Amino acid sequence: MRVSVQVEAFHLGAEAEGFAQANNSAGAIVTFTGIVRDAPQGGLVAMEIEHYPGMTLKALNEIAQTAMERWSLADALVIHRYGRLAPGEQIMMVATAARHRKDAFVAAEYLMDYLKSRAPFWKKEILNDGGAGWVAARDEDEDALTRW
């Protein structure tokens, strides 16, 4: 299990390949990668991601550890960036390795649902008209937690 909170870009290809190779007796590997999308109204210049340094790693480790135990994962990986990202840049990824595909999928969805609403990150959209705004938490993201 590895959790990383970092400013630097990560290399999805290298991470996915390394994770799969390290878990080649697992059977099923799922990855999720989040990419900075343009704002709904267009004109996104950058996404600024703030986090709570003292809490972030702890929260991510707890979330990943819970997933590891609940679905008997062979391995889990969480990488989340902070700082200023341009549209098209990769923000974060998770990877799960399990014996069967169901566990790998459901654990990856669990990680994502908890990262969305329980990991101390906040996103601010910087627009090309000089405007800026904090991304509001979506009710459906909070609701997604009720299924776990």
Partner 1 sequence: MEVLYFAWVRERIGLPRERVETRAITVADLVAELCSREDRYAAAFADLSAIRVALDQELSDFDAPLQGVREVAFFPPMTGG
Please identify which residue in 142, 143, 145, 148 interacts with partner 1, judged by CB under 8 A: 142
> Within 67-126, which residues bind partner 1 (CB under 8 A)?
80, 91-92, 101, 112, 115-124
Nearer to its own copies, 49 or 104 (CB): 104
Number of continuous H segments (helices) and E segments (strands) in the chain: 4, 8
What residues contact residue 55 under an 8 Å CB cut-off, 6+ apart? 120
Least separation, in Å, of the C-beta of 56 and partner 1? Answer: 9
d(CA 56, CA 143): 22
Binding residues (CB under 8 A) for its own copies: these are 11-14, 16-18, 20, 23-35, 37-38, 87-90, 99, 101, 104-105, 108-109, 112
> Across the strands, what pairs with 131?
none
Nearest to 85 by CA among 135, 130, 36: 36
Identify the residue among 4, 10, 22, 52 touching partner 1 (CB under 8 A). 52
Name which of its own copies, partner 1, none residue 70 binds, using a CB cut-off of 5 to 8 Å depending on partner kind: none
The CB density around residue 67, as the number of other CB atoms within 10 Å, is 24
Which residue's CB is nearer to its own copies, number 18 or number 83? 18
For residues 83, 66, 138 and 12, what is the CA-based torsion angle, rounded to 10 degrees?
A: 40
Q: Where along the sequence are the contacts to partner 1 (CB under 8 A)? A: 34, 50, 52, 54-55, 58-59, 80, 91-92, 101, 112, 115-124, 134-137, 141-142
